[in-house]
Structure 1
């Protein structure tokens, strides 16, 4: 044929037979053996996809640098056409998808929400695991799809049953998972800040509700008591004795101020005080509990002569006592100026 010799039908039959034999041998019987080009065996050992060959180093560097992970086609490059395919005796395999076609497939997958749903094979979330996008716009775990292919013995989509699909490694689920984790961290942090702010406001600002206001002040009082007990001295007896001494000194100061502030009653004041005693109808001494006797007080029937000769003293606080009983009480007390036995107030006295 090359030298311009006439082509005979027997030669055509021989070429067709050789082409079919080569195709059957390369595709069905021994797909690894290449009769037409033995050097392709050595070429096949190296990965045909340069993106897949740089996957280990380039992808690792991109993850460490924080850049967006690149997507690449996982399927190896198609084998060269056999002689039968070149002559048109056997249909040639479909051409590989272009980047534009992959973009349309991915857009359809994103619209269907394939990466946001669990894997259809293992029914688990993708998270940060490797995922693959098929040319039919379905997404699976890379390991799950490889296991399914080994189990079924053919390339067939587990969902739509499409055969001879192409696979592309994508990272949509990983990005969604990172975004979800970041959103959850931000929500937790904002919740923590809001709870901390509310607890601070709850401790510092008094609420308007009556019951809540009562609880607020009870909590404040309890906090003050706890802090007071926490910082007080451990010797409670000495602490209580100090309190008693301070109270006694304060009482003495108040008594001195009260004595200085009281002035001696005038004659009109004594008459008014005596009229108050008469209105109350007091007839007994509060100390000895015997009947009182005085010219200015109404007489009481049944009094003895001894009781009638006992003098009565009127105090400025409008209380009546026997003179002898009040003098005995004043002699008994240790204060320089004793107080009234009944109302415990400083008094001036008048004999009636």
Structure 2
């Protein structure tokens, strides 16, 4: 009888403890989340110490990525186990993820390109806004996830509906956005350099096509005309005087070259020049348009004949003139020592000989 009473008392104690544990679980989970039989202090009293502990976790050793920005778990430490969880009557929450497990979750998120896609809640790009990674490998805006949790009243992933997930702050989307901005800036800079180089080639290189070549030279001529007009608009008299000086210096140079290059013909040269005149067969003076004496027919000068009195001059350029006509032309042209006389027909400097 005594043994039976002991067994009954043990079973009754177990039932009492189990009922208390279930009551604590129901009260804490459903009816009054701020109260617990195993933890008599209200949750708002424990909030200060919990927040301080959470801040210690954030300020503690954290993982840093390649850009030097820290990644840390956003969730606070899990609450203490309830009596029903300690007795095994209710499933206890899982353990916190380790760094290796978080690395696997992040690798799975990178493989699925979660950070490259818009946020599933607001459907906007992440860019530089705060970003969180859930333990189910889904990524959201931090503000969007907090707003969803307040709206739904429960901690459930908006994508896979997983309960009691962990949250970690990451910066993958910010790094991707910076990389895209740098790539775009580099592309714009390369395009600017290429366009600048093409404009330089287009302005300095003559194209092979006939129509394009014509447009090229028209554009160059227009630029020269514009520059000439601008220069003339500033000081026309000085510009024209510069032109006159350059022309006079050019003439002097050419005249010096002509004096150096032209030597007086010899007798053999004069005979060759006479043969050229005879072969040409032109016996009119180009100035007065009257007949000349034929050098191939030697005649005695007749003073009574006016044509015989006008003697003929042979030039080194193989042209014949009347002596008086050539002297009149030289007087009219006002040749000086600096300026040698030129032939009225071919405009070349000459030496003359009476025939």
What interval of TM-score do these two structures reach, taking the shorter chain for normalisation? 0.7 to 0.9
Q: Is 2:172 aligned against 1:172? A: yes
**Per-residue deviation, 1:258:** 3.2
Point out where structure 1 has 5 or more consecutive residues left out of the alignment.
Answer: 300-304
Corresponding residue for 1:319? 319
SS of alignment partner, residue 314 of structure 1: strand
Equivalent position of 2:353 in the other structure: 350
Cα distance between partner residues in 2 of 1:218 and 1:227: 14
Alignment RMSD: 4.9
Distance in 2 separating the partners of 1:41 and 1:329: 128
The answer to whether the Cα contact below 8 Å between 1:132 and 1:169 also exists between their aligned partners in 2 is: yes
TM-score scaled to structure 1, two decimals? 0.72
Structure 1 residues 186 and 150: CA distance shift in structure 2, 3 A: same
Q: 1:45 to 1:139 in 2, by over 3 A?
A: same
For residues 274 and 113 of structure 1, what CA distance do their matches in structure 2 show?
Answer: 101
Deviation at 1:188, TM superposition (A): 6.0
Alignment match, 1:46: 48
Kept in 1: contact 2:35–2:42 (CA 8 A): no
Distance 2:354 2:218 in 1: 55
Q: 1:275: how far off?
A: 1.8
Match 2:30 to one of 23, 28, 31: 28
Report the Cα distance in structure 1 between the residues aligned to 2:89 and 2:178, rounded to whole angstroms.
Answer: 52
Matched with 1:73 is 73
1:296 and 1:104, CA in 2 relative to 1: closer, same or farther beyond 3 A? Answer: closer
Q: TM-score, normalised by structure 2?
A: 0.72
Q: Tell me the residue number matched to 2:268.
A: 268
Alignment partner of 1:287 is 2:287: yes
Report deviation, 1:28: 0.8
Q: Which residue in 1 is equivalent to 2:3? A: none
Which of 225-234 and 73-82 deviates more?
Answer: 225-234
2:143 equivalent to 1:140? no
| Equivalent-residue separation in structure 1 for 2:24 and 2:111 (angstroms) | 45
Aligned mates of 1:57, 1:86 — CA distance in 2: 31
How much has 1:231 moved relative to structure 2? 8.4
**Secondary structure class of the residue paired with 2:293:** coil
SS in 2 for 1:109: helix
Counterpart CA distance in 2 for 1:334 and 1:347 is: 16
Cα 1:67–1:50 shift into 2, 3 Å:
farther
Partner of 1:330: 330
- Cα distance in 2, alignment partners of residues 140 and 28 from structure 1: 28
User: Retained in 1: the 8 A contact 2:119–2:140?
Assistant: yes
Per the TM alignment, residue 286 of structure 1 is displaced from its structure 2 partner at its CA by 0.9
**CA pair 58-319 structure 1, distance change in 2 beyond 3 A:** farther
SS at 1:39 equivalent: coil
Cα distance, 1:282 vs structure 2: 1.0
Q: CA deviation at 1:295?
A: 6.1
Deviates more, 1:219-228 or 1:286-295: 219-228
* CA 192–52 in structure 1, closer or farther in 2 if over 3 Å, else same: farther
Tell me the distance in 2 between the aligned counterparts of 1:69 and 1:235: 66
Alpha carbons 1:285, 1:322 under 8 Å: kept: yes
The reply on whether 1:91 has 2:94 as its aligned counterpart is no
For structure 2, the residue ranges without an aligned partner over 5 or more in a row are 1-5, 300-304
Pick which of 280-289 and 143-152 moved more: 143-152
SS at match of 1:321: strand
The alignment covers a number of residue pairs equal to 341
Separation (CA, whole Å) in 2 of partners of 1:102 and 1:71: 11
Q: 1:204 to 1:286 in 2, by over 3 A?
A: closer
C-alpha contact (below 8 Å) 1:294/1:311 kept by paired residues: no
**In 2 relative to 1, CA 340–149 (structure 1 residues): closer, same or farther, beyond 3 Å?**
same
